[in-house]
Amino acid sequence: MRIQVDDQRRTYQYQKDDQVIPFILLGENGRTDNDQVLAKIFHNRVEPVEKFWGTLGNADNSRYQWSGHIECSGDGNRESTGITLREIEELYNLHERISESGERVIERYIDLDKLEFPDFPEKVETENLPELRLTIFLGQDEGAEVYLQHYTDPGNDADVEYLLCEPTDGMETHQRDRLTYNIPIFPRKKLTSFGRGTKWLKQSELEEMERFVVKILTFKREASVDSHKLLDRAINRIIGKRFRVSIYDVESNSFNEISTPQSIDSSKKTLILIHGTLSSIDGSFNGLLKEPFKGKESWLKYLIESQDIRIEQVIGVDHDTLTKTAIENADQFIDFLNGEVQFEHPVSMMSTSRGGLVIKSLCGKYKDILPVDRAITVACANYCGFFVTKGSRSKRKRGVSYAITALIKMLIGSKWSLIIKLLSTQSYEFLLSLPGLQSMTKGSEVQKEIQSFKPDPATVFYPIVGKQKSRNWFFGTLGATAKFLFINRLLGKDHDWVLGSEQQYLMPRGNLAASFLNKDYKEIMISVLIHMSYLNADKTALDGREWGDDVKEMVEGYLG
């Protein structure tokens, strides 16, 4: 349905102290003379109001000077197709309550394509784009997923970019009847950078060819369950056991879980693998298990059977990367060993992403219990620039939203992508508060503790640092310049879409391998496609040279 932005029957002004806050009422029943609508707006009504589902205004509560009209849903659609249908199918997999309720997921949309913003600033900072405020009204047993659906042709689905809600009181999503989302405004004219650095943007003479609609999916979810319990339940049901120790079996070319430390052969020279965030041993090290290497079924099979490398046993450690810190992950592994395994030879370790923080914790906190000779960190998540604690609220929120959008697309099809989908329906402050992500948040207490650990002088670190070699957009191309500059300001000029290359290189200087000493991260940087691709078969370049099988060959050299 079409709503003229100057339609007085749709425009409401909310008086708060000395400020008048204008907004537009959304839905077929969105009229300013409806007592139920006003009662809902003023928190005097808990129940939803039929055919009234939201409001739209400026995020800073200022008077708007928009012109034109918006297109939006009236009552909502229960027969979705395309990308929206796929999103809904994943919601069914996440929330059993949807099927139990017998009520379908409701799809609503807002199309801002015919809305003009004459008050858009002449210049704007990349991290402080003007924003709209969308408030949607829900029952206390309802959840919502909101995203931007990008398109170049209104008839065709395109890309998806997730928006996280503003925090509710105490971050408890079961104690509210509404959720608020801020939507960055991208004008019709493309935003380009100007001046020194990458801080400022201005409108160009070129028009944006791609546009987006705001999609809102509302659904039944577990009542009286706070965000932490909701996350725990989803992980337990979809992922299952969070901590496990496994040993690589050469014959089956797979990892087999062990229940006691007695299954570990302490006389064998051992390599311990530690995976990254929202992953598993099979997930992070898939390229070592599933791809042939030098005539063998896999890199791991080659490693065990090689006459040149003395690795006789490979152990994989699966751990909880969201609700526990990297230090707690290290504690769990040491507790599992229970003092019963005294390795006769120093172990070697290899990690991806956040697993590097677990290695640092093991090498620092438990250096007297678990001697380590080599620590190989692939794209170590010393800290992730997307997790911002300083700066504007807009900056913090957009950083987390971009991280969620990228990770969902990188892990598409995996069980963990469903867990990230659940996180996309929570507030950015809830995500930033999770202990596992606090480990990767610069300036957090746990992050500072991890970086303060001092490994044994005999432990040598080999950081593998990567940079993306393609300009893949994981966030839609509308406002591509603004988004790319914003990401560069968070991650640095060199990054792999998740971690900054310089961030990956933060290692105990006294423990760096000799070939890394006194080098800038750019001197050792390799090219990758995205954060998840370091260990796959794609060729990469190091100092202009092609490697036969990229990172796997590098690691082989470090272990030799």
Burial code (b: 16+ CB inside 10 Å, e: under 16) for 247-284 equals bbeeeeeebeeeeeeeebeeebbbbbbbbbbbbbbbbb
The answer to whether 460 touches 359, Cβ cutoff 8 Å, is no
- Is residue 366 one of the residues assigned to a domain? yes
Q: Which domain holds residue 63?
A: 2-225
- Examine the fold and report which residue of 186, 203, 225 is the final residue of a domain before the chain moves on: 225
The number of distinct structural domains making up the chain is 2
pLDDT (tens digit per residue) in 51-73:
899 999 999 988 888 989 999 99
- Examine the fold and report which residue of 194, 225, 256 is the final residue of a domain before the chain moves on: 225
Single-letter residue type at 318: D
- Is residue 532 one of the residues assigned to a domain? yes
Q: Higher pLDDT residue, 255 or 392?
A: 255
Q: DSSP string covering 437-468, please?
A: HHTTSTT-HHHHHHHH----TT-EEEEE-EEE
pLDDT (tens digit per residue) in 459-469:
999 999 999 87
The answer to whether 385 touches 503, Cβ cutoff 8 Å, is yes
Residues 488 and 526 in one domain: yes
- Is residue 395 one of the residues assigned to a domain? yes
- What pLDDT, on a 0 to 100 scale, did the predictor assign at position 549? 47
Residues 177 and 261 in one domain: no
Residues 161 and 302 in one domain: no
Q: Higher pLDDT residue, 527 or 173?
A: 527
pLDDT (tens digit per residue) in 394-451:
999 999 999 999 998 888 888 899 999 999 999 999 999 999 999 999 999 999 999 9
Segment 532-556 mean pLDDT: 69
Residue 130 banded pLDDT, cuts 50, 70, 90: very high
- Between 415-423 and 393-410, two packed helices, what is the crossing angle to 10 degrees? 160
φ, ψ for residue 559 (rounded to 5)? -85, -20
- Is residue 110 one of the residues assigned to a domain? yes
Residues 206 and 289 in one domain: no
Highest mean pLDDT range out of 17-21, 36-40, 174-178, 390-394?
36-40
- What pLDDT, on a 0 to 100 scale, did the predictor assign at position 547? 43
Residues 132 and 248 in one domain: no
- What pLDDT, on a 0 to 100 scale, did the predictor assign at position 478? 86
- What pLDDT, on a 0 to 100 scale, did the predictor assign at position 432? 93
Tokens of 173: 């999503």
Q: With 70 as the cut, is the pLDDT of residue 480 above it?
A: yes
- Is residue 233 one of the residues assigned to a domain? no
Q: Higher pLDDT residue, 499 or 230?
A: 499
Q: What is the CATH number of the domain that holds 505?
A: 3.40.50
Residues 178 and 318 in one domain: no
Q: With 50 as the cut, is the pLDDT of residue 95 above it?
A: yes
3-state percent helix, strand, coil for the chain, nearest multiple of 5: 30, 25, 45
Residues 88 and 195 in one domain: yes
Q: Which of 328, 340, 393, 405 is nearest to 370 (CA)?
A: 340
| pLDDT > 90 in the chain, percent | 64
- Is residue 230 one of the residues assigned to a domain? no
- Examine the fold and report which residue of 204, 225, 246 is the final residue of a domain before the chain moves on: 225
Residues 216 and 255 in one domain: no
- Is residue 75 one of the residues assigned to a domain? yes
Residues 400 and 496 in one domain: yes
- What pLDDT, on a 0 to 100 scale, did the predictor assign at position 409? 86
Residues 146 and 251 in one domain: no
Give CA separation, 290 vs 249, 254, 279, 295, 297, in Å.
14, 9, 16, 13, 8
- Is residue 232 one of the residues assigned to a domain? no
pLDDT (tens digit per residue) in 274-321:
999 999 999 999 999 999 999 999 999 999 999 888 899 999 999 999
Tokens of 20: 């008048």
Residue 177 banded pLDDT, cuts 50, 70, 90: confident
Of 26-35, 108-117, 353-362, 377-386, give the lowest mean pLDDT range: 26-35
Q: With 70 as the cut, is the pLDDT of residue 546 above it?
A: no
Segment 223-248 mean pLDDT: 90
